[in-house]
């Protein structure tokens, strides 16, 4: 009798969906994942830019090729989002809790373009500009 009661209580607890705090945490972890992807791609592209500058490639080529690569790769990775958590997907599926998730009503490709491509282009240009200023001071 006691075991049956425990099974019913466990089944009731498991049927509960995510809470608002869990959805906020899932959204925060999604943003951290996007920024991590952007930073890794931007660092690789900045290194590529520096290598291309040392190999006497034209300035515009060494600036634009990594820029396009950063935009395309980070957009694709954020749109694909290989690190989707189960809680994040549950929050997106819930009509009442989706409001706690950033860009919940947006498709994956525009989400990738905004949170991946645009952010990585801005970070790339900022880092190239700052590294150029530091190099001129020396």
pLDDT for the residue 2? 58
Helix, strand, coil share of the chain (percent; to 5)? 80, 0, 20
Nearest Cα residue to 98 out of 34, 18, 15: 18
Mean pLDDT for 62-71 is 95
**Does the pTM of the predicted model rise above 0.75?**
yes
pLDDT for the residue 78? 93
29-33, 47-51, 83-87, 131-135 — which is least confidently predicted? 83-87
pLDDT for the residue 4? 59
C-alpha 122/C-alpha 22 separation (Å) is: 30
């Amino acid at each position: 009798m006691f075991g049956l009661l425990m099974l019913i209580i466990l089944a009731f607890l498991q049927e509960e969906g995510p809470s608002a705090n869990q959805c906020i945490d899932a959204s925060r972890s999604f943003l951290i994942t996007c920024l991590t992807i952007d930073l890794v791609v931007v660092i690789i592209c900045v290194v590529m830019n520096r290598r291309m500058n040392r190999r006497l490639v034209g300035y515009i080529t060494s600036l634009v090729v990594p820029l396009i690569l950063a935009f395309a790769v980070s957009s694709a990775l954020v749109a694909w989002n290989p690190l989707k958590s189960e809680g994040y997907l549950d929050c997106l599926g819930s009509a009442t809790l989706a409001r706690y998730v950033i860009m919940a009503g947006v498709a994956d490709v525009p989400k990738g373009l905004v949170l991946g491509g645009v952010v990585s282009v801005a970070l790339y240009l900022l880092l190239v500009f700052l590294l150029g200023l530091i190099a001129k001071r020396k």
